Amino acid sequence: MNRTTTLRTDASRRRLLERFTWIATAILLLGVAAFLGIADEVMEGDTSRLDEHILLAMRVPGNPAQPIGAAWVEESFRDFTGLGGVGVLGMLTAATLGYLWLTGMRRAAMYVLIAIGGGLLLSLALKAGFHRPRPDLVSHGSMVYTSSFPSGHSMLSAVVYLTGGAMLALLHRQRAVRVYILGCAVLATVLVGISRVYLGVHWPTDVLAGWAGGAAWAALCWLVARQLQSGDHLDLGVPPAGIRPEPGNPDGTA
């Protein structure tokens, strides 16, 4: 790689990281503000009527035990909710860690593990702190084990999919590829959250708070990773955008 190409690549990488930094900062601030606002309204009981209205709108009128739509629709939403389950998210996390490890980005792999593990602990702590009961207006279409606020599936899917998507997007120079990866991450997160309301296991505000909290946590983790990557304390070993590292060549340079 000649000097001109290297300088052009470095400039492109800096612009890309600056955009991600501004976006992540905005997501962090908006996510925290949204979570606190929703939590305040929920604790005061101001969202009860809206929650009930939306939840019942997804049920057959006069038969709250039956979700709207054909049987295949209900089955599809059960599949969607599985995308936010501990088993699936654990498998995806392990796959991401394996990819980062095998491509030489081992410090990045450890950081992703800490970030996702921290998101799980935060979700459990928030559930224990708010201890909101699950919806009792309709029958549950999925097994539940914890309290309702915030939605753990929604929050953890946001943490895992958005964190993983942002990390993978940084490995590609093409804008279309980055948009595609992040779009898939957002779509998976949205489908998981909607499925939790459709199956009657969460109030809508649980899901909104889960999305807000998960997105804020993912943005915070990305910003911390950005500082560690560019600072003097730790190099996460992430190569410049668009350069794929090979085993034995962790930094991806030629």
Exposed / middle / buried, residue 94 (Cβ in 10 Å: 0-12, 13-18, 19+): exposed
Phi/psi zone of residue 68: left (φ > 0), alpha (ψ -120 to 50 degrees), beta? Answer: beta
Question: Taking 70 as the threshold, does the pLDDT of residue 2 lie above it?
Answer: no
CA distance 22 to 226: 12
Instruction: Write down the pTM of the prediction.
Output: 0.81
Question: Taking 80 as the threshold, does the pLDDT of residue 3 lie above it?
Answer: no
Give the total residue count for the chain. Answer: 254
Over residues 17-28, the mean pLDDT reads: 86
pLDDT of residue 250: 46
Q: pLDDT category, 136, cuts 50, 70, 90?
A: confident
Over residues 220-229, the mean pLDDT reads: 82
pLDDT of residue 217: 94
Active site residues: 153, 202
pLDDT of residue 247: 47
Exposed / middle / buried, residue 204 (Cβ in 10 Å: 0-12, 13-18, 19+): buried
Quote the Cα angle for 159-161-166, to 5°: 95
Higher pLDDT, 142 or 240: 142
CA distance 155 to 189: 8
pLDDT in tens, 43-63: 988 888 999 999 989 888 888
One-letter amino acid of 44: E
pLDDT in tens, 110-130: 888 898 899 999 998 998 898
Token pair for 189: 């997160």
pLDDT of residue 12: 65
Over residues 207-232, the mean pLDDT reads: 84
Does an H or E element contain 235, and which?
A: none
pLDDT in tens, 68-105: 888 899 899 999 999 998 889 999 889 888 988 898 88
